[in-house]
Structure 1
Amino acid sequence: MNKLSKLAFIAAIAAFAASASAQSVSLSQQTSTDNWANGSQEYVWTNGSNELCWRSTSWTPTTANPKCDGALVVQATETPPVVPKITSQKVTYQADALFDFDKSELKANGKVELDTLVQKVRGLNLEVIVATGHTDKLGKEHYNDQLSMKRAQAVKNYLASQGVDANRIYTEAKGKRNPVVTDCHQKKRKDLIACLAPNRRVEIEVVGTVTEQANQPAY
């Protein structure tokens, strides 16, 4: 090769090296890579438009520099979004289980009944609780309205004393207007009171949300 040809060849190599280093990307810290790297192993050579990395003959997607084209990309596992699930439940307590007849003070056994409800409420993001008092048909309507309200209020006060937010508890009084049984016509008052027992009740409706992952199986 004459001197002029040698100079042209050296100039071409220099131009290629300058172009490649100008369009290079940092070499990954992986132990080996089958993309061409510079002598100090700091950069991978790319083409002039910085789109493609030069590859050796043993190149595979798994041995490619992760910053280069064609490299195997490990897909991140997506965490299912957390969504709230609305739940609503109505629980009916017989008044005789919570109160003595014609009374509005909670019995000890009644408090135990409500403690179970409190535990369930604590597992919710509580929206609202509605306590509705009902009586039987015995007595005047105004009296029964007052009694049913006092009983609903007694339930509210107890739930609040156990840590349930009182601002989310509402009370209603239905008195004797929504009976469950209507065919009680016993002559003896004791028997009539026993027959009318299902009408004496406190209905408690709880509305709230529970947080669970999307696509989580229901149990």
Structure 2
Amino acid sequence: MKQITKTILAAFAVTALIPMAAMAAGQDSKNQGYLVDAPGSVIVMNSTGLCWQSSEWTPSRSVDSCGRPITSVAAPAPVLAAALPVEAKPQAQSQKISFSGDALFAFDSAELKPEGKTMLDGLVRQIDGATYDSIVATGHTDRFGSNEYNQRLSERRAQSVKEYLISKNVQASRIDAEGTGESQPMTKAGNCQGEKSVKVVACLQPDRRVDVELTGAKTVVRTL
């Protein structure tokens, strides 16, 4: 009787294992690592909607429906704000007008001649329509005479021009006067050679001048 019972139990055990083996064999390979239903195609989930993982689960066997393992995502590179273009400040313009010393003054003199005043009147009319920051009158002489004498003469001539412009209502606080003597000639070395003579003095005429420079001029002044 016992032998019959053992035989029946063994047969029952074999019969019970057949569906389980069929389930394992029939389980979809893509669902390996999860508990599945009897056909082996639907993953079993708990009450919160999470998939039941089996002991064979590994990250490589995870499926999309159950959520793949989270991989680190590189933070996007910070977007650098484009540098605003730096607006270049407009550079102050300047204009220099040269007046012949012979036209403004008598020889070896710092007193303006009538025709010299007429020339400066034309400058005053141009300044009246110009925008500027400052005016500098610079006197120059030729090489005849001592350095000290020529320096004083150039300064006196520049001062005469300054005072005349002020007398014509040009703003005094914006005018300056200076002299350079014979240090900045217009003629080149080797020109006008020889001792003092009418010919050489005439050759050096470009060196005897007064330059009037407007700094920050925004309206071009015509050269007189």
Q: Is 1:186 matched up with 2:194? A: yes
| 1:113 aligns to 2:109 (yes or no) | no
Kindly provide the CA deviation profile for residues 139-163 of structure 1, in whole angstroms up to 9, marking residues without a partner as x. Answer: 0000000000000000000000000
Amino acid in structure 1 at the alignment position of 2:113: K
Match of residue 204 from structure 2: 196
2:161 to 143, 146, 155: 155
Cα deviation digits, residues 105-145 of structure 1 (max 9, x gap): 00000011111111111112331001110000000000000
Task: Name the CA distance, whole Å, in 1 between partners of 2:195 and 2:217.
Answer: 48
SS state of the match for residue 143, structure 2? coil
More strand by share: 1
The answer to whether the Cα contact below 8 Å between 1:132 and 1:172 also exists between their aligned partners in 2 is yes
Query: Which range moves more in the overlay, 118-127 or 167-176?
Result: 118-127
1:146 corresponds to 2:152: yes
| Greater displacement, 186-195 / 199-208 | 186-195
For 2:192 and 2:171, locate their aligned partners in 1 and report how far apart those are by CA, in whole Å.
39
The offset of 1:171, in angstroms, is 1.1
One-letter code of the match for 2:120?
L
Secondary structure class of the residue paired with 1:203: strand
Contact persistence 1:85–1:209 (CA under 8 A): no
Structure 2, unaligned stretches of length 5 or more?
A: 1-89, 220-224
Which residue of structure 2 lines up, in the alignment, with residue 9 of structure 1?
Answer: none
Decide which structure has greater helix share.
2
| Aligned with 1:91 (options 71, 85, 97) | 97
Give structure 1 stretches of 5+ with no counterpart.
1-83, 212-219
Identity rate, percent: 47
2:170 to 164, 171, 175: 164
Q: What's the TM-score once normalised by structure 2's chain length?
A: 0.54
User: What CA deviation, in whole Å up to 9, does each residue of 1:39-97 have, x standing for no partner?
Assistant: xxxxxxxxxxxxxxxxxxxxxxxxxxxxxxxxxxxxxxxxxxxxx99542110011001
Which protein is bigger by CA-based radius of gyration? 2
Q: 2:135 aligns to what?
A: 129
